[in-house]
Chains A and B, each alone.
Chain A
Amino acid sequence: MQSISSRSPLGKGFGDPVLASQRCFRLILAAMSEPGTVQLLGEAVEAPAHVSPAATLVLLTLVDHETPVWLAPGLDAAAPYLRFHCGAPVVDVPSAAAFALVDGSSGELDLGAFNSGDDRYPDRSTTLVVACAAFEGGQGVTLSGPGIQGTRTVSPSGLDGGFWPMVAASNARYPLGVDLILSAGERIMAIPRSTRISVPTEAG
């Protein structure tokens, strides 16, 4: 494996671009439709360094030459991969990005830096693919809103302490705001802007 990867620094994308992207999309759509549910993207893929397979599959499914991508510092190794497989322009300014790949554990993450759409076109906002460690073991937050029957409690781990208050504040601007797809390993969970988030007041 070592010799192969040294000869070809770019990993493989979809084995079957048509059907694999369809399977991934349906799972992303299910995640976005029912915020807080965990979906397993099981397609084989060779992810770029420091990027999870699930995050890679989300980008392969949705990103192309029409969607500028912004990469958080430390994740720029993904740039050649996205340029090659998706033809996506990689931009320097977060607010210019249709998609952004970020690390949820970073205290530098600022949702306000991204495009949150405008009141006439809220759909023009950035979709963030956020890396976390796992979908259990973290601080529990309670979600409610469209796609959730009653409430749903989720506890992804490996997120910065300021992450959920920041998302809650961003979603309070509904219908403006950014949509999040959390990724860990081969799994994803979506938090669209329509989700109301209640964070326990005691620090945990």
Chain B
Amino acid sequence: MQKTVTSPLPPRDEAYNFAYLDEATKRMVRRALLKAVAVPGYQVPFGSREMPLARGWGTGGIQVTAAVIGPDDTLKVIDQGADDTTNAVSIRRFFARVAGVATTEATADATIIQTRHRIPEAPLEAGQILVYQVPQPEPLRKLESSEAETRKMHAWGDYGPMYVRLYEDIARFGHVATTYSYPVLVNGRYVMSPSPIPKFDNPKMHMSAALQLFGAGREKRIYAIPPWTEVKSLDFEDHPFEVQKWDEPCALCDAADSYLDEVITDDLGGRMFVCSDTHYCEGRRDAGHRGRLLGTDAGRALTRNEE
């Protein structure tokens, strides 16, 4: 049975301006967004505001979403791929209350998708906007702590130290050991942090049909990738970029093409691998795909109320 995943229109809380932010703040964020789109991958400073939740919980993404969202939008929010975890649920509820927008768990139904650390498995379509919550926008920060210096490195395209870091991984481990926040080169010019998405998701950023916007609230930076933009994960000719692979498919929906989370099922070494993208996994189960542990106790613990 197909479940209803799009909520009915909630009433808007009239005590707040539409989408919480005041209009001057929205204009400031909007101007920053346009410059970010005009210079893909470049970090635009913006006047990040206090939001009604702690910095580090997605305030940058929320401010970007608040600046673009309108009453006709349908919002999806995911946290590590899941629609039903605390951060996703509370941000969805926040926008339902201050903007009165429809919310959904269905990737294809959403016009705006705010995400923490994943890109949905279903390919995004033209017209959709993906808003990333970014903790650390500066890909060079671990190599150079000074903002004045990293600005110069970006200005002059001085990305040698980043390649040295990747090379050191290869010298030590035989491969690049970075698995998330894997740096990318955008439009052949700026090295950019893709936010802590797994490197599995990096290829989805390349030539995406959707507009990708990034907001870092604590660090006060906005950046963007327009649709149909080249996004290349940094690599070497003799060590080309590779994504993670798993030995087994999803234990719930049998998907072999999605990003899997490891779930410990007991204290005897039992484990299962399940899709990180909960809506993708549900969709496949609804379509009749059955994984190894679907219907067992371990599987039921992760499949909410469905049978």
Contacts and interface: CB of A to CB of B under 8 A. Distances in A.
Contact of B18 (A19, A29, A34, A125): A19
Contacts of A67: 31
Contacts of B69: 22
A23 interface: yes
Contacts of A185: none
Contact of B70 (A26, A123, A148): A26
B38 A61 contact: no
A194 interface: yes
B227 A174 contact: no
A33 B34 CA distance: 8
A17 interface: yes
A32 B34 contact: yes
B38 A32 contact: yes
Contacts of B230: 146
Contacts of B154: 120
A1 interface: no
A18 B226 contact: no
Nearest to A125: B35
Interface residues of A, number: 39
B interface bracket (residues with beta carbon within 8 Å of A): 35 or more
Contact of B211 (A33, A61, A66, A119): A33
B230 to A, nearest CB: 8
A115 B152 CA distance: 19
Contacts of B28: 66
A122 interface: yes
A123 B36 contact: yes
Nearest to A179: B38
9 contacts: A17-B23, A18-B18, A23-B70, A33-B37, A67-B31, A121-B45, A123-B42, A149-B228, A193-B39
Interface of B: 17-19, 23-24, 26-28, 30-40, 42, 44-45, 67-71, 151-152, 154-156, 187, 189-190, 207, 211, 225-230
Interface of A: 17-19, 21-23, 25-26, 28-29, 32-34, 61-64, 66-67, 98, 118-123, 125, 127, 145-149, 174-175, 179, 192-194
